[in-house]
Structure 1
Amino acid sequence: MTDLLLLLEGLKAAPACLVTVESTQGSAPREVGAWMAVFANSLVGTIGGGHIEHQAIAQARLRLSGLAGAPRQRCALGPALGQCCGGVMHLGFELVGAQHAQSLQQRLAPALYPVALFGGGHVGHALARVLAPLPFALTWIDSRDGVFPDPAPEGVRCEHSEPVQLAVPRLAPGSRVLIMSFSHAEDLDVVAACLRRQREQGDLPFIGLIGSKTKWATFANRLQGRGFMPHDLAQVTCPIGVPGIHGKAPEVIAVAVAAQLLQTLYAAPALEKLQASVTAMHPHPG
């Protein structure tokens, strides 16, 4: 269960003090918007750990007990706190209860970037588990029946498509695409469908294909035979995963690919970031 759902469930039984990172200067352990909810006897989320979090928890519980406190607090991350980040965090404190559930869901829902994962094999299963808690709205696609786990990882939407490449035109704008089906023929058809979409819409920021350099050389030759040009093929990443991680166990590949996707977020253009915000406000059914 995500931190937001844990917070909303907890508020059904008791109020909390919401601590939010409102701004930062210099080095800080968490970014603006990070939050934690402090209940009388439990905690959800984090603003970075360490002594600053310990101090913020104490301040939040004072407010929960009815003692007055300023709604904002400046925390210098220096020797006085036993931390050497050297920056400053400005924290906001807010008492919240069950009556605030709807507004909190809108305010705290993370921005999610759409990802389409083609393939329900061993690596696909490992990758779906790794991606589920990360800032991605994952659509998992396969042409076969009975390949998805029941239940699927939280927030993951599973889709059957036969033939599988027909799912490509329906993908959300800005989708990052990962291709790892049970069949090289299916992989090739999905790559071709993605490149056709790129010619028409140009809205897939990442197309990743599992496999070796030899596999890609074969695919590149066949795709050129279908009329794709070198600049089309340059949009495909194969092999996938952060370079330097050589393990072939499904879980190792999954971590390497997830890290590569996270790297692409920092280069996301403004339009794509807007799409992620819209996804956060109106998530896909799952």
Structure 2
Amino acid sequence: MARARDWLAAGERVWLCTVVATWGSSPRPVGSWLALSESGKLSGSVSGGCLEEDLIRRCTRQAPDRVHMLDYGVTDHDREHYRLPCGGSIRLLVEPLAPGWGLGHVEDLLGHLERRQGVSRRVDLNGAAATLVRGSGGPGVEIDADAMYHRLVPECRLLLVGAGEVAAHVARFATAADFGVTLCEPRDTFADGWSESDIPLVRALPDDLVVSRFGDSHSAVLALAHDPRVDDMALLAALASEAFYVGAMGSHRTSASRRLRLAELGVSESRLGRLKAPVGVNIPSKTPAEIAISVVAALIEARHHLRAAATSL
């Protein structure tokens, strides 16, 4: 959506395509979206790549100026032509955004999400401008005869505490899985050796960073420093926060010692029960890459339960 804002600010028209329904096998879930600019640039996806070319052609050549639905995969010809998964069908809502009001709408939307606030978009199917309503519950799409309601939640953030090979692999895999990743490393020697230039590095005390930016219910904190002076600071703050996942790397023996230390520092039994240590799913993993895969798998599972629980509210 940030790229859509940039295109609108540059005076380009934008079309926002949202997956509102799927049947059978589909490469992207309901709620996925794709933004297209009139110059043919795109951001996001609604398929594995089979529909985007057709959407670019439709929008840039025909320049639709009204909200409308598009169905793909309904006929055998569709499945053959667009190479949709066998038996799959997708319904999209295509919505034009003009540089004037559209820019203001997108800026308001991004502002809510940057403030870590859920929000719902109401897209009128009869032509009125889209509006925003303070959201509740998890992400999802509802549609009736008059409008589509698209509930959006903030990005799930991941704070990694402690630079190292495992942290580097976790950062790469978690970024690919759509987490917003930040590394905290207060130790200059380790921070200087961090080579993942695409991952933000913050040289700060981890407890301060948890409190200021990673303490809400859409944040996860992983202690990977192998240094109790660093890890324990992060965990003390994270276990007292609303973070949906708090984990620490180490053996079962190390994890038991960590729990004793945290209890002695005043962490209650109920809060200690939130600590995932050793972190990750039990593959069992040995190499840094395998450990990172197990960690990110556990994070994805926790994020799924977070969103499922919110959707059921």
Q: Could you tell me how far apart the structure 2 residues matched to 1:226 and 1:111 are? A: 32
Of residues 127, 150, 156, the one that matches 1:113 is 156
Of residues 195, 198, 217, the one that matches 1:153 is 198
The yes-or-no answer on 1:259 pairing with 2:297 is yes
The runs of 5 or more residues in structure 1 that have no matched partner are: 274-286
Give yes or no for contact 2:66–2:96 (8 Å, CA) kept in 1.
no
Could you list the per-position Cα deviations for residues 211-266 of structure 1 after superposition, in whole angstroms to 9, with x for gaps in the alignment?
122221232344445555654432111122233262422x4433432332222222
Equivalent residue for 1:268? 306
The runs of 5 or more residues in structure 2 that have no matched partner are: 114-152
Equivalent residue for 1:81? 78
Q: 1:218 to 1:130 in 2, by over 3 A?
A: same
Corresponding letter in the other structure for 2:276: T
**TM-superposed deviation, 1:184:** 3.4
**TM-superposed deviation, 1:150:** 8.5
Of residues 71, 85, 103, the one that matches 2:67 is 71
Q: Could you tell me how far apart the structure 2 residues matched to 1:116 and 1:44 are? A: 25
Equivalent residue for 1:248? 287
The yes-or-no answer on 1:212 pairing with 2:251 is yes
* TM-score normalised per structure 1: 0.70
Of residues 21, 24, 27, the one that matches 1:24 is 21
Q: 1:102 to 1:258 in 2, by over 3 A?
A: farther
Equivalent residue for 1:284? none
Q: 1:245 to 1:87 in 2, by over 3 A?
A: farther
Q: Could you tell me how far apart the structure 1 residues matched to 2:95 and 2:209 are? A: 45
Give yes or no for contact 1:115–1:176 (8 Å, CA) kept in 2.
yes
Q: 1:103 to 1:95 in 2, by over 3 A?
A: closer
The yes-or-no answer on 1:49 pairing with 2:48 is yes
% of aligned pairs identical? Answer: 19
Report which structure shows greater RCO (CA 8 Å, sep ≥6): 1
**TM-superposed deviation, 1:24:** 1.1
Could you list the per-position Cα deviations for residues 3-58 of structure 1 after superposition, in whole angstroms to 9, with x for gaps in the alignment?
x4544555566735424115214344332251131544544332113544343233
Q: Could you tell me how far apart the structure 1 residues matched to 2:36 and 2:106 are? A: 11
Q: Could you tell me how far apart the structure 2 residues matched to 1:207 and 1:38 are? A: 40
**TM-superposed deviation, 1:183:** 1.2
Corresponding letter in the other structure for 1:153: D
Q: Could you tell me how far apart the structure 2 residues matched to 1:271 and 1:158 are? A: 32
Q: Could you tell me how far apart the structure 2 residues matched to 1:89 and 1:23 are? A: 6
Q: Could you tell me how far apart the structure 2 residues matched to 1:135 and 1:157 are? A: 18
Equivalent residue for 2:92? 90
SS at match of 2:306: coil
Runs of 4+ in 1 over 6 A off after TM superposition: 269-273
Larger displacement relative to structure 2 (233-242 or 254-263): 254-263
Q: Could you tell me how far apart the structure 2 residues matched to 1:69 and 1:189 are? A: 54
Give yes or no for contact 1:127–1:255 (8 Å, CA) kept in 2.
yes
Q: Could you tell me how far apart the structure 2 residues matched to 1:119 and 1:10 are? A: 37
**TM-superposed deviation, 1:206:** 1.3
